[in-house]
Amino acid sequence: MCGIVGAVSFRDVVPILVEGLLRLEYRGYDSAGIVILGEDIQRVRSVGRVAEMQTRANAQDLHGLVGIGHTRWATHGGVTESNAHPLISRDEIAVVHNGIIENHDAQRARLKSLGYEFESQTDTEVIAHLVHYHYSQTSDLFTAVRNAVKELAGAYAIGVVSLKAPDVVICARMGCPLLIGLGDNENFVASDVSAVLSATRRVIYLEEGDAAE
Ligand code: GLU
């Protein structure tokens, strides 16, 4: 169980997310990635150190005001770039996840029958497609995430963004820690307070079953 960070800000969130992930390195991980919302979903991932992922983000001149990031400790699927988070559904929804989804096999089969294609071996990818499915039913991202997590068994802390709701990050937890950091004209989400302390000391710890926007 490794690291989640997310930010909605008036300034470039790429350095915020990278710094947050660097502060979570001590927890151990095997790969890292970030997604930034722009005209499309911009994703950078790499196996290995956060610094390697940061180099790639800089090389791509990645910038934006809303994004999520992750350091992964693989539980389902090997240590590969295509299994690194964030996982994306239909070029629209991106998800980072700490924990283990126990009913991922059943959800994968159901989502495949609904036409979703999988590009990783992770349990996490079912969350991305489930949120996409529920978002198509409700057209409200917060409600979609709440409806999606009702169908999950297991432990999770998640951060979710959508191209169709480009100014919010939705998060939810059950069995894994997650908190919100309140800044001035910017807010953060993280799995561990050390990731947000350089930006704010105002923190709300989510409780079991909570979701937040
Ligand atoms: N179970 C997920 C995976 O293997 C998340 C692991 C984690 O907590 O980093 O991708």
- Model confidence pLDDT, tens digit, residues 119-164: 999 999 999 999 999 999 998 999 999 999 999 999 999 999 999 9
- Binding site membership of 54 for ligand 1 (Cβ less than 6 Å): no
98 CA: nearest ligand 1 atom: 8
pLDDT value for 1: 60
The whole-angstrom separation of Cα 99 and Cα 1 is: 6
Measured distance CA(71)–CA(90) in Å, rounded = 22
79 lines ligand 1 (CB under 6 A): no
Which atom of ligand 1 is nearest to 122's Cα? 10
> What's the pTM value of the predicted model, to 2 decimals?
0.98
Q: Which atom of ligand 1 is nearest to the CA of 73?
A: 9
**Ranges of the chain with pLDDT below 50:** none
CB of residue 100 inside a 6 A radius of ligand 1:
yes
pLDDT for the residue numbered 87? 98
Q: Where are the alpha helices (DSSP H) in the chain?
A: 14-23, 50-59, 104-113, 125-138, 141-149
- Ligand 1 near 2 CB (within 6 A): yes
pLDDT attached to residue 2: 82
